[in-house]
Structure formats: structure tokens, C-alpha cells
Amino acid sequence: MPDPVFTLMIEPVKACDLACRYCYADNHWKNPMDLDILGTALARVCAYLDQTGHTEVHIIWHGGEPLMAGIEFYRQSLSLISSSFPDIPLRQFIQTNGLLLDREFCLFLKKNNFEVGISLDGPKEIHDALRIQKTGAPTWAKVMEKLDLMADLDLFFGICMTFTNRSLNREKTIFDFFTSLGRPLRINPLIPSRRNKNKNLLPSSGDYGRFLCRIFDRWIRTENRRIPISPLDTYLSAISQGGAPECRHRPSCIGNHLGIRPNGEAVLCSPFDVLILGSILEHPVSELYESSACTRIRGRPKSIPECILCENKPVCHGGCPQFASAFGGAIDDKDPLCRDYKLIFSHIRKALASLETGIPAHG
């Protein structure tokens, strides 16, 4: 059985206007994706969905910086998308650093129901140490101006934060800052980059899990204006109600997730660019999933001895093959964030048990 949702990640450009200190992206194609490539990709996905049981499509515009493709690219893309998927519920997301947003772009995104994710790593001192322009100039103040613009125009947006060792022991400051913004928050761990030396920003094993536990303790006690925080909310519901929360914890992303690079190369998702599945111009989608690498990824949860015996398997499924690869392992190795997952899963279980018994799990 496939997941109900098929996720299509499109990279309209592979270029960026920033030079973040931890960036993993291979940003060297400035020209936007040719619309013929996009049209072929959409037609192939549409034909694939005719054969599967997916009931919803999510399109995630990613990069590089996807707004660099320009508003005209999106205008033309939208008409291709609406003619390709006339009969299936569709949600569109765009993940951006926000700096190219102006009034016209915001109104366009709002009119077309885009759900916008803005990259922001926390208060000024944390964000500006990491997310900088090519000149080295800081970006926090500019991003905050864009948040005000979006709020004024009533454009829905959430925030995506990357957790690095700069966030360590700053849980209260970070939590208070994001709570004051009142927007949904996504917390992503920093993953090693092959092209950029971001080792000096990588947290140690377990730091991400401990950070999530401390944020969880503040978040769960918040009575007024509790913001959605992912992955805490998805972990909480997966543990209390069952099911796997997100792509990296599903039995397999094969068959349910596809990324398209500007030249038509297909990947599982945009960070996983060491595993090129083939060109969408040359292969139907089902063929792209037939490589031996995809077979190995499909079999991961059943082939990792520690995962087979793990109590977290129903919510974790061995984690993400891209993370395993980025940390220097094989795609069918256990996710190197295993220790972090164990910490937060066990913390949430204890919190749920304490709610049932009335005995506090922590002081």
C-alpha cells in the first residue's frame, strides 16, 4: 500500500542569493528549469498516479533558492500543474530564505494558496552567525522585514529552523523567540555537507535529541499560544495514535517521494543528490524506482538488525537513507540520528505515561 500522499519536490533553480555557512546544496545552475522539462515531469507523475493508490499530491518548491526562478516561471508552471492534476487534491509548499519576497510575489503566493516556509534559525545572534549574504552581510533584519510584509498581506507562512551547535543550551531563548512569532515551526537537524566544510557547526550525537526533549518540556507546558512544532507534534501523535510521522520515518519513501532537478534528473528528495535515479525525460516514474539502490532502500527497515528489535520501529522504521549516506555510511545503514530519535521518543513516552498516572516525568 502506498502512502496516501505523493510528494513531488521540484528544484526550479540550483542557485542561491545567500552563502549560509552550513549549506549542503550544489548551487551551480542559475537558469530556471525549462518549462518543457517541467511539463514532461508532471505528465510522467500524472501517468504514475493513475496506476497507484495515492489520493493527494504535495508539490514542494525547493532549491537552492526557488524564488530565483522568478514570478513569471511560477505563473506558467501553475497553469501546467492545474492541467496535469485536475482531479486530485493538491497542496503546494515553497521553502525559501524569503529575501526575494516582495508585495507582488506575496500576493501571487497567497492567491494560489502556497504554504510558505521561511528559513530562520532563531534570534539575531544565532541566525546572523549562520545565514549570511555572499558579502558576509547579516540577513536577520531583512528576514524579519519579510515576515512583517507577509503578515500584513495575510500570507500564511511557517518557519524552518536548522539546529546546529550554535543552538546548544539556548533552548529557552530559541523557544521564547519562536513562540513570540506565533508561527508553526519546523526544527531540522544539521546534516554534514560533502561540498562545504560545515563540520565545525555539527552537533554531537544526541545533542539534537536532547534539544528536542528540552523544547518539548517547554512546549507541552505552554497553555496559551502554543505553536505547532514539528517534528514534536508529529512524533507525539505517532506515539500516541500510531503511524509513522514523516518521510524519514515511513517504511520507505520509494514510490511516494520524487525530486526533480532543473535538468530533469530525478532524485528521491533534493538533499539526496548523490543518488540520481535517472532522467525524468527518459524514464517513466515507476522505472526510476527500479534501481538496485531503490530496492536496498525499500528493504532497509527489515535489514537493519538493531531496528528489527527496536521498540521504536513502528514510529521510526530505521530513519532516513539520505542521512545515513550524508554521514558517510551506506544507504541501507541505520540512520546516524538513531540516538537522537531514541531520546525524544522515550521522552515523549514518559511524558504520556506521567499524564496517565499523574506522576510528573520531570521536575
| Residues within the interface to ligand SF4 (CB under 6 A) | 247-248, 253, 257, 268-269, 272, 306-307, 310, 312-313, 316, 318-322, 334-335, 338, 341-342
The Cα 44–Cα 63 span in angstroms is: 21
What is the closest distance, in whole angstroms, from the C-beta atom of residue 70 to ligand SF4 in the complex? 27
Q: Which is nearer to ligand SF4, 193 or 312 (CB)?
A: 312
Residue closer to ligand SF4, measured from CB, 167 or 322:
322
Nearest approach in angstroms of CB 130 to ligand SF4 is 21
Cα 232 to Cα 45: distance, rounded to the nearest angstrom: 31
Nearest to 39 by CA among 64, 89, 76, 91: 76
Nearer to ligand SF4, 62 or 334 (CB): 334
To the nearest whole angstrom, how small is the minimum distance from the Cβ of residue 8 to ligand SF4? 11
Range 134-137 contact pairs with CB under 8 angstroms and sequence separation of 24 or more: 134/17, 134/18, 134/19, 136/19
Min dist. Cβ of residue 342 to ligand SF4 (A): 5
Kindly state the smallest distance separating residue 226's Cβ from ligand SF4, in Å.
26
* Residue closer to ligand SF4, measured from CB, 283 or 342: 342
Distance separating alpha carbons of residues 269 and 320, to the nearest angstrom: 11
Which one, 129 or 275, has the nearer CB to ligand SF4? Answer: 275
CB of 328 to ligand SF4, least distance (A): 16
Q: Are 161 and 122 in contact (CB under 8 A)?
A: yes
Query: What is the nearest approach in angstroms of ligand SF4 to the Cβ of residue 166?
Result: 23
Distance CA 123, CA 181 (A): 11
Q: How far is the CB of 27 from ligand SF4 (least distance, A)?
A: 19
d(CA 27, CA 278): 20
Kind and range of the H or E run holding 321:
helix 321-326
| Alpha-carbon gap, residue 219 to 149, rounded angstroms | 27
Q: Are 63 and 32 in contact (CB under 8 A)?
A: no
Q: How many residues does the chain have?
A: 363
DSSP per residue, 131-161: -BBTTS-B-HHHHHHHHHHHHHTT--EEEEE
Rounded distance, CA 249 to CA 245, Å?
6
Between residues 74 and 163, which has the closer beta carbon with respect to ligand SF4?
163
**Residue with Cβ nearer ligand SF4 (155 or 253):** 253
Relative to beta strand 278-279, strand 265-267 is: antiparallel
Give whichever of 257 and 261 is closer to ligand SF4, judged by the CB atom. 257
